[in-house]
Structure 1
Amino acid sequence: MNTGYNFRPPSTSPNATSTNYVGPTNGSLATSPVVPGQFFDRIIQIWLENTDFATASAAPEFKSLASRGILLDSYYGLTHPSEPNYVATVGGDFWGMASDNLFNIPSNIATIVDLLDTKSISWASYQENMPTDGFTGFSFSSANYLSPGSSRTRAFYVRKHNPLIIYDSVATVPSRAARIRNFNDFAADVNANAIPQWVFVTPNLVNDGHDTDVKFTSSWLKYWLEPLLANPNFNDGRTLILLTFDENETQTVNNQIFALLLGGSIPASLQGTTDSTFYTHYSALSTVQANWALGSLGRFDTNKTLANVYSPVAAAVGYTNQVVTGSSIPDLSQSGTTPGPLNPDPSLVTPYPAPDTSAVGAGGGPVFV
């Protein structure tokens, strides 16, 4: 998609506040002791939107970034449309969801936050153009900074790209909801060297490519990510960065997406290499679990086929990944065919399943109940 917009920086720099972000900063998060991991001490996930692997991998900025990291060329989204992919990567399931509607997943359903909290590992999510911390609204419109002088507003923020707020176990707990932060808070946190150990970043609807295209997103990466890669408050020698997309654009083919591991934790010997291990969004969960020897959610985060651990982390912890290639790669291009409590087809609606307490995840710890 190309709306005709030209990229315009929403702020003077990634670590500067801006009235374009609407919500004021609430000051920086309090720093807490670092819990050492096996391969990284901080992981930052940056999600972009709706782009085929071939399109992203051919773009000059993505090529440049890939030369400094590990290209994961067998990485797959889980389904269509966007929202179920987001909720799955923090909750281990998308619950049959097949739309981008407003959902409130019940408070007895655990997420990655529960696993992190068991070991006092700090976390936060940063959502560009979200008006206030912990905002639960469906979307938010603000002045269109791409068209200076215009009186028109547009929606830059949408809830469906904010996975943790969709879970009531986060959204209805004030201390947790306060950690769903806007980009003015991000500026405060990076300047105070207070970026937590687990981080999820969602750019706004133009910068993530949802309403624009990969060229526009490339300009945002040059403006936002490139300077931060050189900022030790964001990217130190123990930081792993996952840059990826929620789903591909061409939904008639399997759901292969561009994914890249960057950051100071990637050794020079692996920079500019390609890893063809089969991964999905569940791998983000299993990799975090393996790195910090966490428990699991007892869901698809423990599925040996769908939740391979990123190879450098697997090597560091001694985890053996499954070999999934060619025709053994499952078809992940479907939408609406998976039974679950949020499936729109009444014949496919099921209750929320209890965690499988016999499951063993990549971290080896107990299933969180």
Structure 2
Amino acid sequence: TPPSASVQAGQTVQLTGTPRDAGGNPLSGRTVTWSSSNTAVATVSNSGLVSGVTPGSITISATSEGKSGTAAITVTSSGGAPFRHVFIVVEENTNYASVIGSSAMPYLSSLAQQYGLATQYYANTHPSIGNYFMMTVGDIFTNDDSYGGTVSEDNVVRQLLKAGKTWKSYAEDLPSVGYHTPGETGNYASRHNPFSYLTDVVNDPVQLNNLVPFTQFPTDLANGALPNYSFIVPNLCNDAHDCSLGTADSWLQANIDPLIKSATFQQDGLLIILFDESDSDHTNGGGRVVWVVVSPKAKRGYQSTTFYQHQSTLRLTLKALGVTAFPNAAASAPDMDEFFMP
């Protein structure tokens, strides 16, 4: 006993094995032998003390005089969810070489040098909208930037809510909270805000309130009210779609650097800054783009040569929050664990 238990890796849980006679009465003085079905997941001592080794599920058996009993043991990660706050900032339509190795975006380049850079990261398609859906739905879904319908496929919001996590989309120049009309309004473009198409959002008045203007972001940061998952959408100028890379870089430094330096982020934050697609490259669908990860738990000065696409970003953003179900292409996408310290 107990018949099932959960233990964190590196921690222990005590099991008890009590031999009984045919009438169910305890038998004293009997020797109990313990065994684990997989000692790589958990070990068990001669006294029934189970030690978690690595996440997984195993069976512990107790045997005495030919009779056996079992307990199902689940070993969980030692820290539960690795992060409590995940942030994604998406920039627009730029080739990898226009940023890395150039002087166009000194602030972003400094983050790439200091933290983690994926040197073989490729967008999935052209134009924009399908890449944004791959980051959030795990499927291109459409390549029509003028798409005016909804998306009912499995998606990041559905999985976050199932796992009890919170989320917001912070879109610069969003006309109002809950605004989800397709198209452009001023410098806001719905095609850069995939959450505004998800049926899990637009058909739920509660979730609709998580579509907020970016002006809410510094307030939430200052008040300790940031959700677990934040999707940050600069406007058409500040994401380098209509304005220069220098403008986008200055926006990042003004608006994202305070986040990085905050106590909240330094405790348990993960930030990804990436481009939705390249400008003129069609390799692997959407061309080679910049992908930078910033976190106190990220390896410093790390460059990866592994091939990744947007479905791996979707997988990472959920996995980082302890979510274990991944929508569509994210289910089989390569993990991005290499960027983080063990």
TM score, norm. by length of structure 2: 0.71
Given that residues 171 and 234 in structure 2 are in contact (C-alpha distance below 8 angstroms), is that contact kept between their aligned partners in structure 1?
A: yes
Cα shift at 1:113: 1.0
Tell me whether 1:167 sits opposite 2:198 in the alignment.
yes
Superposition pairs of residues 70-81 of structure 1, within 5 angstroms = 70-81=116-127
Distance 2:274 2:294 in 1: 11
Deviations for 1:82-102, whole angstroms, at most 9, x for unmatched residues?
01111121111112x122013
Residue 227 of structure 1 aligns to a residue in which SS? helix
Given residue 296 of structure 2, which amino acid in structure 1 is its aligned partner? G
Superposition pairs of residues 116-135 of structure 1, within 5 angstroms = 116-135=160-179
Given that residues 148 and 182 in structure 2 are in contact (C-alpha distance below 8 angstroms), is that contact kept between their aligned partners in structure 1?
A: no
Residue 200 of structure 1 aligns to a residue in which SS? strand
Tell me whether 1:65 sits opposite 2:94 in the alignment.
no
Distance 1:62 1:187 in 2: 20
Given that residues 180 and 202 in structure 2 are in contact (C-alpha distance below 8 angstroms), is that contact kept between their aligned partners in structure 1?
A: yes
Given that residues 205 and 211 in structure 1 are in contact (C-alpha distance below 8 angstroms), is that contact kept between their aligned partners in structure 2?
A: yes
Distance 1:61 1:187 in 2: 20
Cα shift at 1:139: 4.1
Given that residues 151 and 197 in structure 2 are in contact (C-alpha distance below 8 angstroms), is that contact kept between their aligned partners in structure 1?
A: no
1:158 counterpart (189, 195, 201) = 189
Given residue 301 of structure 2, which amino acid in structure 1 is its aligned partner? G
Specify the alignment match of 2:314 in structure 1: 285
Distance 1:165 1:286 in 2: 20
2:89 counterpart (35, 46, 50) = 46
- Number of equivalences: 259
1:260 counterpart (288, 292, 297) = 292
Given that residues 125 and 201 in structure 1 are in contact (C-alpha distance below 8 angstroms), is that contact kept between their aligned partners in structure 2?
A: yes
Specify the alignment match of 1:275 in structure 2: 304
Given that residues 245 and 258 in structure 1 are in contact (C-alpha distance below 8 angstroms), is that contact kept between their aligned partners in structure 2?
A: yes
Specify the alignment match of 1:100 in structure 2: 145
Q: Which moved more, 1:257-266 or 1:286-295?
A: 286-295
Residue 165 of structure 2 aligns to a residue in which SS? coil
Tell me whether 1:113 sits opposite 2:157 in the alignment.
yes
Distance 1:186 1:292 in 2: 20
Specify the alignment match of 1:82 in structure 2: 128
Q: Which runs of 5+ in 2 are unaligned?
A: 1-78
Distance 1:287 1:106 in 2: 22
Cα shift at 1:122: 1.3
Distance 1:280 1:312 in 2: 15
Tell me whether 1:193 sits opposite 2:224 in the alignment.
yes
Residue 121 of structure 2 aligns to a residue in which SS? strand
Q: Which runs of 5+ in 1 are unaligned?
A: 1-35, 142-154, 317-369
Cα shift at 1:312: 3.9
Given that residues 290 and 313 in structure 1 are in contact (C-alpha distance below 8 angstroms), is that contact kept between their aligned partners in structure 2?
A: no
Given residue 272 of structure 1, which amino acid in structure 2 is its aligned partner? G
Deviations for 1:310-352, whole angstroms, at most 9, x for unmatched residues?
1347875xxxxxxxxxxxxxxxxxxxxxxxxxxxxxxxxxxxx
Specify the alignment match of 2:49 in structure 1: none
Superposition pairs of residues 333-352 of structure 1, within 5 angstroms = none
Specify the alignment match of 1:310 in structure 2: 336
Closer/same/farther in 2, CA of residues 197 and 52 from structure 1, 3 Å limit: same
Given that residues 277 and 311 in structure 1 are in contact (C-alpha distance below 8 angstroms), is that contact kept between their aligned partners in structure 2?
A: no
- C-alpha RMSD over aligned residues: 2.0
From the CA coordinates, give the structure whose radius of gyration is larger.
Answer: 2
TM score, norm. by length of structure 1: 0.66
Distance 2:249 2:321 in 1: 32
Given that residues 237 and 265 in structure 1 are in contact (C-alpha distance below 8 angstroms), is that contact kept between their aligned partners in structure 2?
A: no
Residue 257 of structure 1 aligns to a residue in which SS? coil
Cα shift at 1:124: 1.0
Identity %: 26
Structure showing the higher strand proportion among its residues: 2
Tell me whether 1:249 sits opposite 2:279 in the alignment.
yes
Structure 1 runs of 4+ with >6 Å offset: none
